[in-house]
Amino acid sequence: MATHGDGTHKEDLKIVLKDIGQVYHLKKSADGSREFQALKDINLQVRAGEFVALVGPSGCGKSTLLDILAGLTRPSSGAVYIDGKEITGPALDRGIVLQGYALFPWRTVRRNVEFGLEIKKVPKSERRGISDHFIRLVGLEGFEEHYPHELSGGMKQRVAIARALAYDPEVLLMDEPFAAVDAQTRETLQDELLRIWDETKKTIIFVTHSIDEAVFLADRVAIFSSNPGTFREIVEVDLPRPRHNSDIRSSAEFGWVRHRIWELLQSRPSQECREGGNIVVKDAISPSATI
């Protein structure tokens, strides 16, 4: 059983995914209309304060699942519960961080961070203190009045994280947030994320391509297989915490967990690629840190 940084067990369930399935009706082709099963039989229970990573090949439905969690897409079957309540749409109890930053270019760093607060109708006088706090938390003090185009990729992603945290959602959904930054910045951001997670005690669902990233960050790693997208296995990452600012990446245990996940991803039965008709998954997952 994974434990949180302070060593306490947190058994209360935050998120429950129950029998999630997602079917897309593809446009009619020569052989009539076809259906594409993007997700099938997804079941997952996430404890409050837990960090769960989702890894898998491109097109396996990771991002679709995150959209369902965000409430942007309704699943064809099954349901998502947060604190025991079924979610029916997007809401401020979940924060989302996307790969492409998605910062509003016409807003300064501060105003980007305050976006969710405005929607939450937090009075202007309070917004400033909150945005100050989260801008400091992601290490961007001094850049409050800068516009996104004046920032580097890594800084933009920090703003996006601060924006998602500022309106105090209990769940943070992250869709390959560090995929677009260079390897070095990526490791820094991973360290930062763990530190922030430690400080804020959020429940995090983190989608990634990178096995290293998943192992470094998560309590558990859910491994996807594609066509249809479903969990092949959920691996506990029983590495000591805190892991940030540590050399855990080069430890033997780290290498062992990484290898196990790599093997699980490699052992994809070959017919899976053919089952989906013309939908062929080309990307093989490599064990290296970045794809």
Partner 1 sequence: MNYPLLNKTAAVIVFLALWEILPRFGLVNPMFIPPLSAVLATGLHLVENGELVTHTLVSLERAFGGLLAAMVVGFPLGLVLGGGFPRLREAVGPLMELFAQANPLILAHIIIFFLGIGQSARIFIIAWLCLWPITFSVIDGIRSADPLLLKAAGSLGLGRVGLFTRVVLPSSAPTIFTGVRLAAGYAFIMLIASEMMGASSGLGWLVAQGQENYHVTRIFAGAAVITTLAVATDGLLRLVERRVVVWKVNTE
**The two structure tokens encoding residue 171:** 């769940």
Q: Does 181 bind partner 1 (CB under 8 A)?
A: no
List all residues 6 or more positions away from 289 whose beta carbon is below 8 Å from its beta carbon: 183, 186, 210, 212, 213
Q: Write down the H helix ranges in 83-227.
A: 109-113, 115-119, 124-137, 153-166, 183-200, 211-217
- Cβ atoms of 277 and 229 closer than 8 Å: no
Q: Which of residues 105-144 bind partner 1 (CB under 8 A)?
A: 105-106, 115-116, 119
Q: Does 147 bind partner 1 (CB under 8 A)?
A: yes
Q: What span, in angstroms and rounded, lies between the C-alpha atoms of 249 and 216?
A: 7
Q: Does 96 bind partner 1 (CB under 8 A)?
A: yes
Q: Is the Cβ of residue 72 or residue 280 nearer to partner 1 in the bound state?
A: 72
Q: Is the Cβ of residue 92 or residue 183 nearer to partner 1 in the bound state?
A: 92
Q: What are phi and psi of 159, to 5 degrees?
A: -60, -45
Helix (H) or strand (E) holding 69: helix 62-70
Among 44, 52, 70, 165, binds partner 1 (CB under 8 A): 70
Q: What span, in angstroms and rounded, lies between the C-alpha atoms of 100 and 175?
A: 9
Q: Does 102 bind partner 1 (CB under 8 A)?
A: yes
**The two structure tokens encoding residue 101:** 């930053």
Q: Does 75 bind partner 1 (CB under 8 A)?
A: no
Q: What span, in angstroms and rounded, lies between the C-alpha atoms of 249 and 173?
A: 24
Q: Which amino acid is at 70?
A: A
Q: Minimum distance from CB of 245 to partner 1 (Å)?
A: 30
Q: Minimum distance from CB of 101 to partner 1 (Å)?
A: 8
Q: Minimum distance from CB of 102 to partner 1 (Å)?
A: 4
Pick the piece of the chain touching partner 1 (CB under 8 A) from 14-22, 87-95, 219-227, 259-267: 87-95
Among 90, 142, 240, 277, binds partner 1 (CB under 8 A): 90
Q: Does 167 bind partner 1 (CB under 8 A)?
A: yes
Nearest partner of 19 among 70, 68, 72, judged by Cα: 68
Binding site for partner 1 (CB under 8 A): 70-72, 89-92, 94, 96, 98, 100, 102, 104-106, 115-116, 119, 147-149, 167, 173
